[in-house]
């Protein structure tokens, strides 16, 4: 009986570990660009491409604009 419980615990641990490792996405590329205009405003754009374990590719883009504070 104890031997059977040990085997079940090891099997469940292995299964749980495989789910944790399989859920990780791989970052394929990441590009960051920024530009400043004459007023001092900075515009930054970040593009990221990730690949899931099943082979699907996801592209995301994030833009942020920073306006300088006035004295």
Each residue of 49-71: pLDDT tens digit? Answer: 999 878 899 999 999 998 888 76
With a CB cutoff of 8 Å and minimum separation 6, the contacts of 25 are 50, 51, 52, 53, 58
The pLDDT of residue 6: 76
Domain assignment of residue 50, yes or no: yes
Instruction: Please tell me the total count of domains within the chain.
Output: 1
Listed residue (54, 55, 52) closest to 26, CA to CA? 52
| CA 70 centroid distance within chain | 36
Angle at alpha carbon of residue 36, lines to 31 and 41, rounded to 5°? 115
pTM of the model: 0.56
Domain assignment of residue 34, yes or no: yes
Domain region containing 43: 25-71
**For range 25-35, the mean pLDDT:** 90
Domain assignment of residue 17, yes or no: no
Residue 44 has pLDDT above 80, yes or no: yes
């Amino acid at each position: 009986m104890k031997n059977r419980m040990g085997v079940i615990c090891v099997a469940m641990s292995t299964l749980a570990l495989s789910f944790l490792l399989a859920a990780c996405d791989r970052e394929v590329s990441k590009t960051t660009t920024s530009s400043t205009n004459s007023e001092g405003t900075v515009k930054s754009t970040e593009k990221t491409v990730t690949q899931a374990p099943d082979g699907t590719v996801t592209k995301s883009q994030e833009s942020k604009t920073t306006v300088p504070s006035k004295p």
